[in-house]
Amino acid sequence: MHPKKMDLSLERTQQVAHRLGIVFSVPVITVAGTNGKGSTCAMIDSIARHAGYRVGVYQKPELVHFTERCRIGGQPVDEAALVLQFEAVEAARGDITLTQFEFTTLAIVRLLSCAQLDLIVLEVGLGGRYDSVNAFNTDCAVLTSIDLDHMEWLGPDRESIGLEKAQIMRPGRPAIVSDPLPPQSVIDHAEAIGADLWRVGRDFNVQGDRQQWGWRCKHGNVSRSYQGMSYPALRGANQLINAAGAIAALIALKDRLPINAQAVRTGLALVELPGRFQIVPGQPALVLDVAHNPQSVAALAVNLDAMGFFPRTHAVFGAMRDKDIASLLARMAPLVDVWHCCSLPPARAASAAELAALVQAAAQGRIGGTPAVYEHEGPAAALRAAAAGADPADRIVVFGSFHTVGGVIRDGLPRLSSPHMDGMPGSPSVGPSVGPSVSPSPSPSASPTPSPSASPLTDALTSPLSGAPVHSPDSPARETDPAPDHPAS
């Protein structure tokens, strides 16, 4: 393995890819951006599969199992298939050292290139310019929202970060930009290299009401419109922009991959991606969101506001130390009544004690009272404690990192039943538990359809579970004051 965990360069990946003879005989869509990459990949995949195409996706990071990174036909590949590709990469690299990410990318991309597919979707991990995915040419580049994250690698501002991500564009090929306010560096780079630039708000757009939405495109000689669509199964106002970019990418490749209107409607209505404002029915309500930077947490706060009234909000929070944790907490502090901070496995993760101190600082002067703050050794313990202290009408929000969400679903998707409901007539049965009253969740198809009254983001969730308080207010607030609006920057 390479001596450095990260060594930004494409040269090693390109050399080994050449030795492996990796070539693509089908269209490739590459997706980069700060937030929305995973959702956009999932939507492209779902629409194309419902159009009858066989699709392979490279997506990261995983929530629980490594095989989640590579899906074919909507399902993770077998471990044995990946092992064969790792062996091929090891044999081909010779004296070339590879980072773990480079090794993984080569193995998964080779698997996809050898499979009988109609479309390949590759998600960029970090930036764009030197991400291993960029060692492979793309037929269509998609840039989702651009914001501040990984600044130590990508630059201090949106202009610098945008330019790094724009490097996935290719001359003469479609470049879909679904950020409504993209950095000028993105536009300038697209024009400089002669990419076929498609911009949301100019070349394609969305409109809608509480019941339905529509997508419209006018780009060169391409004119297309889809109206009266149900909202995407992925909840959240930000998902409409992701859906718009996903549709644009497929329309840009329509000569090679024709897509009909029914595939668009059905694909978006049935798309699945765990941990993206995922609402799990129960009492209390449970929200799972991998939001881990200021922009994605701002979107989470907006989506939580739109859910309706809950007497109390409990947060299970774990995060990496190198994130802008103060900004994350500034967005969420007005909404959360009880905090359950947890440590996470990676060395770069902040400890529960560090997070608890930051939460207490962020919550100073909070309208509605000072929140209780607890520390836990991990996400599962934090969720057990949150559920044990929650009333049936409350909600629990798990956020801050992929590791935080992954930690609570490692043994299955929790379906929570408040201790206050136990033994009551009609109360839900409890199966194998993550905690005192946690039972397995039903399959996605069994989830209730979201009400259209608050766009695509309504549903109710529920919970039960313990830890030692770091701070308990004398009179803990039982009701959350209306939180100020949070712009979804």
Task: Average the pLDDT over each of 114-118, 199-203, 292-296 and give the range with the smallest value.
Answer: 292-296
Distance CA(279)–CA(448), nearest Å, equals 10
* pLDDT score of 159 more than 90: yes
Q: Which residue has the higher pLDDT, 475 or 190?
A: 190
Place of tokens 């990261």: 60
Q: Across the strands, what pairs with 222?
A: 219
- Based on its alpha-carbon atoms, the radius of gyration of the chain, rounded to whole angstroms, reads 22
- Closest among 273, 10, 4, 298 to 148, alpha carbons compared: 298
- Residue of 340, 239, 378 lying closest to 299 (CA atoms): 239
> Which string of b and e fits 141-174 if b means at least 16 CB within 10 Å?
bbbbbbbbbbeeebbeebeebbbbbbbbbbeebb
Q: What angle do the packed helices 352-362 and 325-332 form, to 10 degrees?
A: 50
Mean pLDDT for 440-465 is: 31
Q: Given this model, what pLDDT does residue 454 score?
A: 34
Residue 442 — pLDDT band, cuts 50, 70, 90?
very low
Tokens standing for residue 451: 């009400």
Position 211 confidence tier, pLDDT thresholds 50, 70, 90: confident
Q: Count of residues for the chain?
A: 489
- How much is the average pLDDT of 332-356? 96
Mean pLDDT, to the nearest integer, of 162-175?
Answer: 96
Mean pLDDT of 115-130: 92
Domain ranges, ordered by start, for the chain: 11-270, 278-471
Architecture of the domain spanning 278-471:
Alpha-Beta Complex (3.90)
Laid out side by side, the sheet with 313-317 consists of 278-280, 285-288, 395-399, 313-317, 338-342, 372-376, 468-471
* Of the listed ranges 85-89, 261-265, 412-416, 426-430, the one predicted with least confidence: 426-430
User: Bridge-partner residues for 32, per DSSP?
Assistant: 143
What integer pLDDT is reported at residue 150 of this predicted model? Answer: 67
The band of 487, judged by pLDDT with boundaries at 50, 70 and 90, is very low
CATH of segment(s) 11-270: 3.40.1190.10
pLDDT at 260: 96
pLDDT at 466: 32
pLDDT > 80? residue 70: yes
Please give the average per-residue pLDDT across 18-39, as a whole number.
95
Dihedral angle computed from the Cα positions of residues 117, 118, 123 and 129, in that order, rounded to the nearest 10 degrees? 110
Q: What are the pLDDT digits (tens) for 212-239?
A: 999 999 999 999 999 999 999 998 878 9
Structure confidence at residue 218 (pLDDT): 96
* Tokens linked to 320: 């990496």
The arithmetic mean of pLDDT across residues 132-149, rounded, is 93
pLDDT digits 0-9 by tens, 234-293 = 988 789 999 999 999 999 999 999 999 999 999 999 999 999 999 998 999 999 999 999
Determine whether 1 is exposed, middle or buried from the number of CB atoms within 10 Å of its CB (0-12, 13-18, 19+): exposed
Q: What is the pTM of this model?
A: 0.81
Indicate if the pLDDT at residue 486 is higher than 50.
Answer: no
Helix (H) or strand (E) holding 223: strand 222-229
**How do 372-376 and 338-342 pair as beta strands?**
parallel
Cα(143)–Cα(132) distance, integer angstroms: 16
Q: What is the mean pLDDT of residues 316-340?
A: 95
Question: What integer pLDDT is reported at residue 482 of this predicted model?
Answer: 28
| CA-wise closest residue to 363 among 304, 308, 292, 315 | 315
Q: Could you give the CA distance from residue 38 to residue 43 in angstroms, rounded to a whole number?
A: 9
Round the average pLDDT of the chain to a whole number and report it.
Answer: 85
In 229-322, where does DSSP find H-type helix? Answer: 239-252, 261-270, 294-305
- Give 413's pLDDT tier (boundaries 50, 70, 90): confident
Average pLDDT of the residues in 71-78: 96
